[in-house]
Structure 1
Amino acid sequence: MSAKKKILIRIGSLRHGGAEKVLVNFLKNLPEDKYEVDLLINLYTGMYIKEVPSWVKLHYLLKGEMITTNKPHEIPVKAFRVLYQKMFLWFPALLYQFILKNKKYDVEIAAIHGMYRELLSSPQKDSKKIIWIQNDIFNLKEYTPNVISQLFKFDRILVISNKLKEEMQKAAKNEQEKQAVIKIFNPIDKDDTLKKANTTIDDYPFSNDIPTFISIGTVYPQKGYDRLLDVHKKLIDEGLKHQIIIIGDGFDFEKTLAKLNELGLQETVKMLGFRSNPYPYLKKADFYVMSSRHEGFPTIIAEALILNKPVISTDVSGIKDLLQDGKLGLITPNSEEGIYGGIKKFLTDRELTTSYETEIAAADLPFVLQKSVAHLQEIIDEL
């Protein structure tokens, strides 16, 4: 039996988010007898910490809750955290000596693109480096052409959609850099999703048979909930009855709620805040709507498909792969008009939504856990 491959994986925290969930799904399904995994998180916090398998050695820089606001008493804590983390970026040898106890790694993985500097500053020059790009970085201001060129210093660049793969390969300077870019589906645990969806809930906000759309995600500007509310109001005014549930919290929550009240939509839109298990709500709703301005790989769409929900989504990164170019759901232009047209279609054409349900039920979904984990192992093993 050959020695186990020693792997270091880095991520910011394990709070609720797509990349964090993907990482935990991946770890839970890696064979313990093949790998020795150290997981280093900057901030020891989040709902997924308890899901990390016991054989994975967990290291952290800091402990405490995530701070997402700028309240005066929180600013010193935030400043200290930033400096403390920066120190290890400036003096990586300290990190590897004191926190990782001088362990040697065969492979080092940035489980999210935001950790690229940390990985590239590693004093272990012989380890193979992998970066996992979990968002459409070509839509993020900080990812300038210069930063993107840095990413090609990694041995493998994992991307989560064909669109991202094309963009990265366009940015590559030579064939070797092109070859480093690999498209990989984020692993989704189908059985786990189905099991969680069957949990009983007693606070589902609607008790009528009016068509109900649900949207789940952190309430940030990129999610486009402001557009969704405007579209909803327009359709209601036109006499097309429907309801919307939004699950998630985030720094735009209050602002979005204020807009909802301003538009007088309290009866037909319910913002439920964060739910650690949103799947029973998703199961009860009729349709899934995604109004995002940009995404990486919207995991929630995959989960909506597992629960056989017809989906309307704006044309963002990853969506064509997930909805099989529109075979499994409606892809609309990425605009308010696009979302309006999509919802209107679902409300007026019952045959369309039924045909999506039939297609989803018959589809072979490529993001199912086992396939993705096997692909990722292959990538690690060949390095």
Structure 2
Amino acid sequence: MKKKILFVLPSLDAGGGQKSLVNLLTQIDSQNFQVDLYLIKSEGLFFNSLPKDVRVIEPTGSYLTFSKGFFPSIFSFIKTKDLKMIYFRIMLAIQNRLYRNKNKAEQRGWKYLNHFFEPLPQRYDVAIGYLEKSSIYFTVDKVNAEIKIGWIHTNYSDSGMDSEVDFRYFNKLNHIVTVSEECAHSLRKEFPPYKEKIFTIENIVSKKMILSLAKQNSDLKIFDNQNINILTIARLSHEKGIDLAIKSCSELVKKMSNIKWFIIGEGPEKEKLKKLIKKLNLEKNFLLLGLKENPYPYLNKADIYVQPSRYEGKSLAIDEAKILHRPIVITNFETAKDQIKNNENGLVVAMNENGLTEGIMSIITNKNLKIKLESGLSKEKHSNEEEVEKLYSLINS
């Protein structure tokens, strides 16, 4: 008889965690496991990439009213004289305004948001909150399952999350999974009583799939061979350091006018970043391309891949750049050493615009270094589909 697994996620919007889930789902043995996916919003860049045998579940009941927005939902709850829901809706709005840190706002707001979700009627063998915060809280509070797993995709120490909130939820999990050994070390440091629960399962990357997708739409006129084409794939948010990339681009253009730096991604800092691009007169050199369902042709054509992040769990984009043997420059965020060995398969530079500029220039001006880095990448084993076996071990433990 098939074991029933539930994954919980807010949506399948662009992001490393969302993409890694789709990769994981394609590897799960559908002969032995029935997989359900609970999505608060059944949408996102990767939604159409879900395996056909995955059943999607959506919220019902009060959440449908809640999701209309603040004032429409308040008016609807007034009509039904649901005073509790009015209170929770107002308190959640206040909570979100009290905390500038969005992670803490989401954590603290769950005690109100929680009331808009119905418990799931079906019992599962395994339930997995596949992202930190609300996905895990929902799994603990609203799902009936024999085994419950929380999945952390970031370095907890750098995330700005409130460990007091997570402490009581982690207590109710059977296992806590994270994506790299450095992230696991961070969790053990933050949550010593739960260190035996913590396991590492790396984000699954399929070399065969990426090489195939990289060949599609390969005629990218946006990439001129006369230019130095730099690429970054990242959410437009503070932790991804796109502002550092813009400042670095400004310095690079002073040295070489044929610099083109492309960003694939969307996010909350887009307007702020556009203003900085304009301020530094980089409209022709630093280009925000938005989301791309298939970013691999861009990655395949780029001269250099750069990840200017302030912190990462384990970057899926870096692993994908490694598969395509792109020369890579990343900042020295805490988990950088989990992916790049400095001067062997990429460059790890200081987390500022000067560090980025120096690293990029060294690859541009030193052909031997570029060849060395590409050669280092060509010798590595990049696919890790076997990581799914680690999940099976936890499920069967």
TM-score (normalised: structure 1): 0.85
How far off is 1:239 after superposition? 4.4
The SS at the match of 1:334 is coil
Q: Which residue of 2 aligns with 1:20?
A: 18
The aligned amino acid for 2:150 is I
The aligned amino acid for 2:5 is I
Q: Which residue of 2 aligns with 1:117?
A: 137
Conservation of the 8 A alpha-carbon contact between 1:43 and 1:62: no
The structure-2 alpha-carbon separation of the partners of 1:358 and 1:256, relative to structure 1 and needing over 3 Å to count, comes to same
Q: Which residue of 1 aligns with 2:348?
A: 331
- Which segments of structure 1 move beyond 6 Å, counting only runs of 4 or more? 77-82, 84-88
Select 1:132's aligned residue among 151, 158, 164. 151
Residue pairs, 1:1-383, within 5 angstroms: 3-61=1-59, 76=71, 89-90=114-115, 94-96=118-120, 102-114=121-133, 115-122=135-142, 124=144, 127-141=146-160, 143-150=161-168, 151-174=170-193, 177-201=194-218, 203-239=220-256, 241-324=258-341, 327-365=344-382, 368-382=383-397
Please give the root-mean-square deviation of Cα atoms over the aligned residues, in Å: 2.7
The SS at the match of 2:41 is strand
The aligned amino acid for 1:319 is A
How far off is 1:242 after superposition? 2.8
The aligned amino acid for 1:277 is N
Give CA deviations for 1:30-76 in whole Å, capped at 9, x if unaligned. Answer: 1112112221111111232222223222111179xxxxxxxxx9654
Q: Which residue of 1 aligns with 2:80?
A: none
How far off is 1:250 after superposition? 2.0
How far off is 1:91 after superposition? 7.4
The SS at the match of 2:396 is helix
Distance 2:113 2:165 in 1: 20
Q: How many residues align?
A: 359
The aligned amino acid for 1:338 is G
The SS at the match of 1:364 is coil
Give CA deviations for 1:95-122 in whole Å, capped at 9, x if unaligned. Answer: 22xxxxx322121110111222212214
Conservation of the 8 A alpha-carbon contact between 2:130 and 2:136: no
The aligned amino acid for 1:186 is N
Distance 1:211 1:326 in 2: 20
List runs of 5+ in structure 2 lacking aligned partners.
62-67, 77-84, 93-109
TM-score (normalised: structure 2): 0.82
Conservation of the 8 A alpha-carbon contact between 2:16 and 2:315: yes
The SS at the match of 2:293 is coil
Of the structure 1 ranges 112-121 and 315-324, higher mean CA displacement relative to structure 2 is found in: 315-324
The structure-2 alpha-carbon separation of the partners of 1:91 and 1:261, relative to structure 1 and needing over 3 Å to count, comes to closer
Conservation of the 8 A alpha-carbon contact between 1:12 and 1:43: yes
Percent identity over the alignment? Answer: 26
The structure-2 alpha-carbon separation of the partners of 1:75 and 1:218, relative to structure 1 and needing over 3 Å to count, comes to farther
Conservation of the 8 A alpha-carbon contact between 1:160 and 1:184: yes
The aligned amino acid for 1:95 is P
Distance 1:188 1:372 in 2: 9
List runs of 5+ in structure 1 lacking aligned partners.
64-72, 97-101
How far off is 1:336 after superposition? 2.7
How far off is 1:240 after superposition? 7.3
Give CA deviations for 1:11-34 in whole Å, capped at 9, x if unaligned. Answer: 101122211111111111111121
The structure-2 alpha-carbon separation of the partners of 1:152 and 1:201, relative to structure 1 and needing over 3 Å to count, comes to same
Distance 2:162 2:343 in 1: 31
Give CA deviations for 1:287-319 in whole Å, capped at 9, x if unaligned. Answer: 101111112221111110111101100122543
The aligned amino acid for 1:121 is D
Of the structure 1 ranges 196-205 and 281-290, higher mean CA displacement relative to structure 2 is found in: 196-205
Distance 2:289 2:373 in 1: 27
